[in-house]
A and B are shown apart, each in its own frame.
Chain A
Amino acid sequence: MRKLPVALSAAALATIATPVLAADLNVSIEVPRLTVAAYHRPYVAVWIERPDNTAVRTLAVWYEVSNTAEGKDWLKDMRTWWRRGGRSLSLPADGVSSATKAPGRHAVSIPGARLRDLPAGDYVLVVEAARELGGREAVRVPFTWGRANTARAAGTTELGAVSVAVTR
């Protein structure tokens, strides 16, 4: 009981030392419906980069998690993500990996707590999709961390609209 206030104040100090307080990052990703003979849901990676293309962290990877034997064999088809961080990530990872998604809009919400060590500044949210017997596409959405803002972009082949909202 005596220790608790000390721990709290240490946490409070750590929070004060970082520039961004309790902002959430909300991403919406549209997986387009494609009329092809052999449709397979795409593998999708979502990550944050700095404007110089250096990766900050992976937020989400949608792949065939349930296929423990072969599901990871095609992670490398998300080529840009694989180079910029995917290959050094251990999957599955809690809060990052999940199953592939059907066509439609999907939300990826990252609570501020998970990004509390991210310095304020300009970043790019990247969504990359790769589909079996299909193509590959990456959509880049520049956004600012540290104040409320929204941004959007859209793909043309393997991805639809992608929007980013930083909320307080």
Chain B
Amino acid sequence: MKKSLALIAALAVLAVPMSAQAHRQWLAPTSTVLSGTDAWVGFDGGSSNGVFIADHNAMNLDGLVITAPDGTTVDAENKMRARYRSTFDLHLTQQGTYRIANVSGGVMVSYKQNGEQKRWRGAEADMAANIPADATEVVATRSNNRTETFVTLGAPNATALAPTGQGIELVPVTHPNDLAAGEAATFKFLRDGQPAADLEVTIARGGTRYRDNPEEITVRTGADGSFTVTWPEPGMYWVNAAVRTAASGDQLASNAQYNGAVEVLP
């Protein structure tokens, strides 16, 4: 609502998770549970304060990776970037679950050269070649940002949900396309392939324009990275977690963020 205030708030509480400072990123499917020999699903991607309400920024889809039920990678169709949302379609031709993820990452480096402040952003492998030898005050931060959702044609399967070992990932205990209002669901968060313990998870239901209270849920992951939520009512839910760690030894400082969209049916 108020950018300058947001900045002050961010400076005042550096300890809060990254999710609190930025607009929320989301990738929302038009349907999640489908039947038949084939089906089409459309997707909107953007960032805004109200999840799934396209009123701020369209998503950059350069990192779009769609994994089919057999584990192969398939392409989106009809990609378009509008002012407030990017859209694309997916033709589901296999039975089972697709993972649709937009993954971005890399390294951001700030340094000084001859007293001048400079910045470089790129892949970690290219970092050494791009930072001058006489650079001083080099601060490098690795980032990994995953925004994803899941859709299933026919019965769900888990092949596409296998973790990549990069960034924060959601591992199903309950399948993300098998969620119903009033039922509990359990998921596990991994960070770089390891259980992400004691992580704050924000769960926000879409449709905030049509009610007065955000009705957000906050839970914390246990030692094994798992958390359980009982869905209060049907809707599209945004599931978020973020971690930032300081540099230590030869490890770079690191930011990781997860933004999932799951649909809870009546």
What string of 1s and 0s marks CB contacts (under 8 Å) between B21-52 and chain A? Answer: 10000000000000000000000000001000
Inter-chain contact A64/B17, CB cutoff 8 Å: no
Is A116 part of the binding interface, using a Cβ–Cβ cutoff of 8 Å?
Answer: no
Inter-chain contact B214/A43, CB cutoff 8 Å: no
Inter-chain contact B1/A38, CB cutoff 8 Å: no
- A97 to chain B minimum Cβ distance, whole angstroms, is 14
Within 8 A of A (CB), among B49-84: 49
Query: Chain A residues with Cβ under 8 A from B138's Cβ?
Result: none
Inter-chain contact A135/B5, CB cutoff 8 Å: no
Which of A39, A43, A157 contacts B9 (CB under 8 A)?
A39
Known A39-B9, A135-B212: A74·B21 in contact at CB below 8 Å: no
| Distance A99 CA – B4 CA, assembled complex (angstroms) | 12
Inter-chain contact A41/B16, CB cutoff 8 Å: no
| Distance A99 CA – B19 CA, assembled complex (angstroms) | 26
Inter-chain contact A40/B1, CB cutoff 8 Å: yes
Known A37-B20, A132-B49: A137·B5 in contact at CB below 8 Å: no
Inter-chain contact B16/A37, CB cutoff 8 Å: yes
| Distance A74 CA – B6 CA, assembled complex (angstroms) | 14
- A interface secondary structure, majority: loop
Inter-chain contact B9/A135, CB cutoff 8 Å: no
- B interface secondary structure, majority: loop
Known A38-B21, A40-B6: A137·B1 in contact at CB below 8 Å: no
- A82 to chain B minimum Cβ distance, whole angstroms, is 13
Which of B1, B17, B19, B21 contacts A43 (CB under 8 A)?
B1
Query: Chain B residues with Cβ under 8 A from A77's Cβ?
Result: 1
Inter-chain contact A37/B17, CB cutoff 8 Å: yes
Inter-chain contact A134/B3, CB cutoff 8 Å: no
| Distance A66 CA – B4 CA, assembled complex (angstroms) | 10
Query: Chain B residues with Cβ under 8 A from A132's Cβ?
Result: 1-2, 6, 49
* Given A37-B16, A71-B2, 12 further pairs, Cβ under 8 A: A37-B20, A38-B6, A38-B16, A39-B9, A40-B5, A41-B2, A64-B5, A67-B3, A70-B3, A132-B49, A135-B213, A137-B212
| A and B contact pairs by CB, cutoff 8 A, 14 listed | A37-B19, A38-B9, A38-B21, A43-B1, A64-B1, A64-B5, A66-B4, A67-B2, A74-B1, A100-B2, A100-B5, A133-B214, A134-B214, A136-B213
